[in-house]
Amino acid sequence: MNTSELIYSGKTKDLYALPNNNVLLVFKDDVTGEGDVIDPGANTVIGKVEGKGRKSLAMTDHFFKKLKTAGIPTHLVNADVDKGTMEVRRAEPLGKDINGAGGLEFICRTRPWGSFSRRYQNYIRDSEQKFNYLVEITVKDDERGDPQINDETIIALGLVSETHLEQAKNITRHVSRIVEADLREKGLILIDMKIELGLVDGVVVVIDEVSADAMRVMDENGKVLDHSTLFASLIQ
């Protein structure tokens, strides 16, 4: 592996600095969850699933190619699915904290589900309600449970400029439409998904990954698909 130094070790990926100033993402087989239940949205690693990292990378490569065709910029340079690695341009995550860590996650919802339903259960009048790509934003902070943050707070704290924030929300919706359309062709339904965005040369781009680790998808019978099943449905 042509790496020089470990920059960061995360729950599902390790990041290495490359001599050309790019970054190498190494996808891991670690899974997160609570107790014995696997949950991609959880903050605790509970074990490993053989081959899971390569599957996440294959899905990310699949969707990033779709985004490129649609003219949506990403930080991808190239991916080696067999090795489970992805070379990317170095990006500055939107909304990183004063220590240079953290950042923002942009969640797009097509219907009430999961934590949204728990938060607003007394206000949801129709469980079959569809959203027009509702965007929510959270702070990447495991210690505080990834709290939500609104636009005015983001601007007041100087985390992201108004222009970049609006661009980020529009990109989030656009990405969700593309992913939703791709899933629909396979008879699948996008419930919600999250993406991370950053700046490369002052331009807002999609960073990190777009895979089963970052979305909830169900079949036409309403069954939510696990990581391996979604991979098998997407990557023929």
Q: What is the mean pLDDT of each run of 10 residues along the chain (236 residues)?
A: 74 92 92 62 66 96 97 98 97 91 95 94 92 97 92 97 98 98 97 97 97 95 95 89
In the chain, the amino acid numbered 91 is: A
The helix, strand and coil proportions of the chain, stated in percent and rounded to the nearest 5, come to 30, 30, 40
Nearest to 33 by CA among 235, 230, 227, 191: 227
Instruction: Report the pLDDT value the prediction gives residue 98, as an integer from 0 to 100.
Output: 86
CATH code for the domain of 189:
3.30.470.20
Structure tokens at 198: 């950053």
Give the structural domain span for 18.
Answer: 5-234
At 7-48, the pLDDT tens digits run 988 888 999 999 999 999 999 987 666 656 565 655 566 567
Please tell me what DSSP assigns to residue 223.
P
As for how many domains the chain has, the answer is: 1
pTM, two decimal places: 0.92
